[in-house]
Amino acid sequence: MMTAPQFPSYPTTAVSRPPGVTIAFVLYLVSGVLAAAFVVLGAVQSLANPLPTTDLASAGLTPEQVEQAETFVRISQIIGSVIIMCVVAFLVVAAFLMRAGQNWARILLTIVSGLAALLITVGLVLLPGLRSVAGTFDLIFLVMIVGQVVAYVVAIFLMFRPAANAFFRRR
């Protein structure tokens, strides 16, 4: 009867993922869902409401030119929504790679989400009275945007804690 060969055991250097990295990953997933919901709600709200064509007509545009302007705006909104959804999908993929220990993904997420948090905060501060094209969804949009900023800031903080630094250093 043959027996299986015995191989020497070697110490493993497996590094367990710190809870902070997992929480940062979940926060990036939540912010991705919030961003996707923001885009979908904004697109639905925007496409459901007619454009204020009275300003265009009073500017001396013909009805055909007004219709062309409306078409251009609608197509621009759709293209912009698709681009934003692609960026969100890319960042979600980067979050998965960050969770797997890829340091470049951590750096990419830090740069992109840090800039996003900064720009969103500046936008909220500069918007007089928090005006929005969202209409009845103003409060929902505000909560989603603030939630995203908080998620970004906490995720960045967690990704650079000492345990997380050791996790990424050993990868």
Mean pLDDT estimate for the chain: 83
Angle at alpha carbon of residue 138, lines to 134 and 140, rounded to 5°: 110
Confidence of residue 21 (pLDDT cuts 50, 70, 90): very high
Q: Model pTM greater than 0.85?
A: no
Integer Cα distance of 88 and 35 in angstroms: 7
What is the average per-residue pLDDT within 33-58?
77
Integer Cα distance of 37 and 28 in angstroms: 14
Model pLDDT for residues 47-84, shown as the tens digit of each residue: 777 776 666 666 777 888 878 888 888 888 889 889 99
| Per-residue three-class SS string for the chain | CCCCCCCCCCCCCCCCCCHHHHHHHHHHHHHHHHHHHHHHHHHHHHHHCCCCHHHHHHCCCCHHHHHHHHHHHHHHHHHHHHHHHHHHHHHHHHHHHHHCCCHHHHHHHHHHHHHHHHHHHHHHHHCHHHCCCCHHHHHHHHHHHHHHHHHHHHHHHHHCCHHHHHHHHCC
Integer Cα distance of 21 and 169 in angstroms: 13
The answer to whether the CB of 155 falls within 8 A of the CB of 149 is no
Q: What is the DSSP letter of 54?
A: H
Least confident range from 111-115, 142-146, 152-156: namely 142-146
Integer Cα distance of 123 and 133 in angstroms: 14
